[in-house]
Structure 1
Amino acid sequence: MQTVNGGEGTGRPPGMADVARLAGVSAQTVSRVLSGHPNVRERTRAKVLAAVDQLGYRMNSAAQILSSGRSRTIGVVTLQTTFYSRLTLTFGIESAARAAGYAVSTASTASLDTSAVEGALSRLADQRVEGIILAIPLIHVSPRIEQLTGSLPSVTIDGSRTEASEVVAVDQSQAARLATRHLLDLGHETIWHIAGPGEWLDAASRLRGWRETLEAEGRTVPPALKGDWSPSSGYRNGLILGRIPEVTAVFVASDEMAFGVIRALHELGRRVPEEISVVGVDDIALAEYCSPSLTTVAQPFAEMGALAVGHLLRQIDDPEAAREPASVEPKLIVRTSTTYARGTTP
């Protein structure tokens, strides 16, 4: 391999011609290697990549699109949030995309308003992404959203639906049934529920699964309390439930809200789980380490993200492939925040 200065000391960044000179190949060969062309010898590919690393060359994205017709980028629409579950989902998407040789461009929205979602989708389309993952709940789908998701390969998560999108989702009703059934099996007469925001399809599905499970058992269905996924909303609702003597079991729609509930119950002198059992949903990393450790229904967020990427790349590679919705089964993780109701024999 030759020794060249490339862009170093020349006042300009290294270009493709510099990489070609250092690797001793043509600029066309460099282009083929960087675009992932299969008809390149491994020895040649290794020389080119070594030259790229040595020079610190970065291919201009606009030039890459023009030369190959492909951006090798997928877009993700997310909600602006610091919730652990959203961050883990995004991590799963980025890891799977990177492993497949794709970059990820994220467009976040401050709200679930259709105009905000339309704006996020439009920004990604303008970047020439090859496909889009909608990692947000879509209650209302506008004609513009249908148009944008119909013009590009697209996958929705969180139970959202558009006419053209492929769906990858966790069965949230089943998650609620697992949690509610677990508490009933422990001898609790009925189960109270702190639900998530009404505009989230996941929250609505969990609310329905909880209610249907109690009704099928002929149990009284208490009024559901409303949260917003935050620990503070769980804390506020925990202060309410902790003052109701007949409350012995609570199904909380997210782990982060459940942390707030447990804190409130502790402050009120209500022992968990001896007096009140608590179950969450998500199984985030902190769930095992709160006091007591949280019984919860696990959602494999990283796996969901990777699954969504796999379905999207299949659409990109074969636009005529049939849409195959995928459902991931939730799993109950029993820890120490739940126990048998008083007077119940194990």
Structure 2
Amino acid sequence: MVTIAVTAEAPDEPRFAVSPETVKKLSALGAKVRVEAGAGGRSRFSDDALKAAGAEIAAGAAEALSGADMLLKVRRPSADEIRQLKPGAIVAAILDPYDKAAIEPLAGTGANLFSMEFMPRISRAQSMDVLSSQANLAGYKAVVDAASLFGQALPMMMTAAGTVPAAKTFIMGVGVAGLQAIATARRLGSIVSATDVRPATKEQVQSLGAKFIAVEDDEFKQAQTAAGYAKPMSAEYQAKQAALVAEHIKNQDIVITTALIPGRPAPKLVSAAMLAAMKPGSVIVDLAAERGGNVEGTVPGQTVEVSGVKIVGPLNLAGSVPVNASSLYAKNLYAFLELFFDKKEKTLKVNWDDEIIKGTLVAKDGKIVHPNLASA
């Protein structure tokens, strides 16, 4: 029988890698799920609930890990954790794979490391797309947090004492997080606008009832990779776009920035000069804070005030709604792990040529093998 270990995350990570629902499904595949006692508590997955679903509760991490065939985590495990598994075990987590200094010791254990961030953007892998499931929640929470800090109402209200004007919300970067932020801000009654360098996003923004803001020149029309990510733009385009955004941002009450390019520092979208031109009391939530931030003045993990504007630099915003985030992440992992099992024989059977398995495999046989990391 295949043994899957699930251990507690670090104190700053409230999410968990399995749920009672996925424990039941993994057991049906032929796996024994061994969970460290108390590890799911911050996601409200009690030991009793996990045990009722078929999990074995281990007294501690060492007992959970000992001789297991797989290790499931939210964040990157330590090399010491991996060494307690069977030789050549499978490890699946959000590995932050571009951190070469941290990945090399893990690769050296000989485990098969799978980074969930590298999930291919293909239709067959949509149910496994961790970045999308977590970004969706982050986009929602960014708007809710901004609204709570803003100190004014978001919707227009007609009262006998007078009219409360609608707040204006500007979303910078229209990926999964940005689209959810648009939808949430609209639900709360805000007037919403959004910008992105990818031309395909214009229709998506407009379909959600928001106004699209961008310099739509020839470079803009070619600004998307085949995988759907934004390409780095020329200095000339960036200057034109910055001028347009600078004029627009002056009148905004809430700004949500979400722009990330895989493996690179976050692009700076909001300058100190733009901040100085914004209305006092405005709020910016910088979802790229973990990668240095889209805003000049962002301090990762803190809320600061610059030129009268509150700048929020959240770390792990999806983790602030851990029950939902863990449930979705656990389903992503289960959909991925289905590929590793022979459902008839209920045994481990890995097809190393499957494009999803190849696309997420970071290290095998002691070596880093992912092409994106060859020169990282």
Flag the structure with larger Rg: 1
Larger helix percent: 1
Greater RCO (CA < 8 Å, at least 6 residues apart): 2
Scaled by the length of structure 2, the TM-score of the pair is 0.35
Scaled by the length of structure 1, the TM-score of the pair is 0.37
